[in-house]
Amino acid sequence: MNGSNVIEIQDTTWGEMVESSKKPVIVMFYSPTCPYCKAMEPYFMNYAKEFKNSAIFARLNIETSPWTAERYGVQGTPTFKFFCHGRPVWEQVGQIYPSILKTAVEDMIHYGDECISKSTPVGQDITGYA
């Protein structure tokens, strides 16, 4: 997004931006018509600015990038997913207290590489399409 510390990613840029990242990545899966996403967005933007040196903050529109949303089991918006070395390690669905999100970001940054021991790889073959 212009002028912010949040990058907009898509199905086509997911691998490069999330899976290949050396830093933890916090992704907000959203829909443009989701009122809860709009309510959470200012907090997400603030945390992206505050923690820009320690983590990457990204947004993914589930309407224009449905493959990635399906791959990671996103069923509602907003869904916040944290990735360490490309693996999902934490998620929260829905509008939450901003303090919960901030604490999760701080924990993700604080524990750094330990997060990989709590993660599971997600295969490319996870899909509902035949």
Q: How confident is the model over 48-79, as pLDDT tens digits?
A: 999 999 999 999 999 999 999 999 999 999 99
**Distance between CA 17 and CA 15 in Å, rounded?**
6
Query: Are 56 and 7 contacting, i.e. CB atoms less than 8 angstroms apart?
Result: yes
pLDDT at residue number 120: 56
Total-model pTM: 0.84
pLDDT digits (tens, 9 = 90+) for 4-57: 799 999 999 999 999 999 899 999 999 999 999 999 999 999 999 999 999 999
* Residue from 57, 123, 114 nearest 89 by CA: 114
Q: Which CATH number fits domain 6-118: 3.30.428.10, 1.20.1050.10, 3.40.30.10, 3.30.56.10?
A: 3.40.30.10
Residue 49, exposed/middle/buried by CB under 10 A (0-12, 13-18, 19+)? exposed
Residue 59 has a pLDDT of 97
Number of C-beta neighbours around residue 37 at 10 A: 22
Residue entry with tokens 């947004």:
59
pLDDT of residue 111: 77
